[in-house]
Amino acid sequence: MWRLYTVARSPSDPGADTWANGSWFNGGGTMWNAGSYDPETNTLYWGTGNPAPDWNGDGRLGDNLFTCSLIAVDANTGKMKWYFQFSPHETHDWDSAQPPILFDAAVKGKPRKLVSLANRNGFYYVLDRTTGEFLTGIPFVKQTWAQGLDAKGRPITLPNIEPTVEGTLVYPAITGGINWNSPSYSPLTGLFYVPAREAGSYYIKGEEKMAPGNSVGMVGGGGGGAKFMTGDDVYTTVRGLEATTGRKTWEFKMTGDAWTGTLATAGGLVFSADAGSNLFALDALTGKPLWHLQVGTAVRANPITYAVDGEQYVVAVAGNSVFAFTLPQVAQAPQAPAQGH
């Protein structure tokens, strides 16, 4: 029916002028994760990948649109309604492919249709999903690359954060404040549940080798790489953020390198898993651990929930096994907070 390119395919295409010397031709920016759909406005919301080469931006000066962006697309025509770029001229492999969350809430006393995204660059964003207007942006993990965001949501970058031959220590790590694993949202609590990653990396600049048939990975045309930090201050966690502001209300800290997303249910639970193969449930309002099960192998896929004959199930895939659980009917849902708080 239609096709939409996220990066220009000719010098006259929108955004081509943000790529120096025609570098849009092999500029990256792919979509590689799930998006979201608003049936009321028939709009698709999709996050885009980072520009290439990943760690050496010398040959692609400019903002490199529409990489590291959230784009809103008419589902019938494929026409881009609006875009918001999180990380212009990105050089740390912090793509913006994280699944966006759609919700309605009051902002400063006014009802708004919102879209939020916890970005790999370490910032949590809230936009008006009708217009793309930037409303809120705040770090949800440690970040050392930006002083903050300006009034339009553009990052105010700090000096000496670019990759170097020797390696530059920057937070978050190459795996990001979040990666491909999905967050979730509960209208009952007004909270956004993010599987966050606290770590930094040494970002290394190398020679870009963009050529036909040459991979853009660390050993190919990526223009460098990164060395992941280790230590006691490296951990993963599930955090409950106030969805309209990004303010952290609680966290459930884990050891190890967990890669599972979160699932919020109407019964007031949040499901996820840790690096030790423990599937667990938290209280959605407080983050208090309520239940866990050792499943014997890593849980990388997000848990899901559904109902059959009125009975609710929660299912998780671990290794080559599928675990299914029923939920009791007596679970008490938390009380919804006042709108806008």
The residues that are catalytic are 93
What is the rounded CA–CA span in Å between residue 130 and residue 68? 19
Q: Please say whether the beta carbons of 299 and 318 come within 8 A.
A: yes
Q: List all residues 6 or more positions away from 305 whose beta carbon is below 8 Å from its beta carbon.
A: 263, 265, 271, 312, 313, 314, 315
Three-class DSSP category at 16: helix
Cβ-based neighbours of 266, under 8 Å, separated by 6 or more: 186, 188, 333
What region, left, alpha or beta, does residue 287 occupy, with left being phi > 0 and alpha being psi -120 to 50 degrees? Answer: left
Residue 4 to residue 104: CA distance in whole angstroms: 27
**What burial letters (b/e) apply to 269-278, b meaning 16+ CB within 10 Å?**
bbbbbbbebb
- Kindly state the DSSP code that residue 58 receives in the 8-state scheme: G
Whole-number Å distance between alpha carbons of 195 and 299: 13
Residue type, 110: K
Share of the chain residues as helix, strand and coil, in percent rounded to the nearest 5: 5, 40, 55
Backbone angles phi, psi at 148, to 5 degrees: 160, -160
Provide the residue type at 158 as one letter.
L
Position of tokens 């309520």?
290
Strands 311-318 and 168-170 turn out to be: unpaired
Distance CA 260, CA 156 (A): 31
